[in-house]
Amino acid sequence: MKGKSIGIALLFSLVSIPIFAGGIPIEPGLWEMTSTMTMPMLPSPRVSTNTQCIDKDELSPETMNQEAMDSNCTFTSRTVDGNTMKWSMACDSKGGASRGEWEASSYGDTMTGGGTITVDMQGQSMVMTMKWDGKRVGDCD
């Protein structure tokens, strides 16, 4: 019995390492991000561009959209390999559930990424795909 407990503890610690790994390096400053979203109900992809100040030298899923993240959502995995980060999340609500798979790569003053969100609601399933590109355009004010 003791051997089984030690084995389970060791397995849990090995699985947990990537989940608590840090983020990817990024050059702080003013960034212009362009995102392209496609989904079945849109006749064409929706493209939007915005600028935002990034004041950290490391980007992680938690710092990317902390204010916008729904309290019903949790990270189910996160891995960092060099300049690439991958993460998954799951959100449960009374009307349904969603899950997302994301990836971002940083190249100092540029970044690329994307992912998919699958929403299951009232027996229906819909997949949304998003891609984004970002570039540092200057210093923050």
Tokens (6 digits) for 58: 């490391």
1 domain-assigned: no
User: What is the tally of structural domains in the chain?
Assistant: 1
Rounded Cα distance between 85 and 25, Å, is 10
CATH number for the domain spanning 111: value is 2.40.160
Residue 16 lies inside a defined structural domain of this protein: no
What are the pLDDT digits (tens) for 31-49? Answer: 999 999 999 888 999 999 9
Query: In whole angstroms, what is the distance from residue 128 CA to residue 49 CA?
Result: 18
- pLDDT value, residue 123: 84
**Looking at the domain assignment, is residue 17 inside a domain?**
no
Overall pTM > 0.95: no
Using DSSP, state whether 55 is helix, strand or coil. Answer: coil
Structural domain boundaries enclosing 113: 22-138
With CA atoms as reference, report the closest residue to 87 among 74, 76, 98: 76
Q: 100: Cβ–Cβ under 8 A, 6 or more apart, which residues? A: 88, 89, 90, 115, 116, 117, 118
Position 100 confidence tier, pLDDT thresholds 50, 70, 90 = very high
Whether 1 shows a pLDDT value over 60: the answer reads no
> Which tokens belong to 131?
């891609």
Does 100 reside within a domain? yes
Question: Is 70 exceeded by the pLDDT of residue 27?
Answer: yes
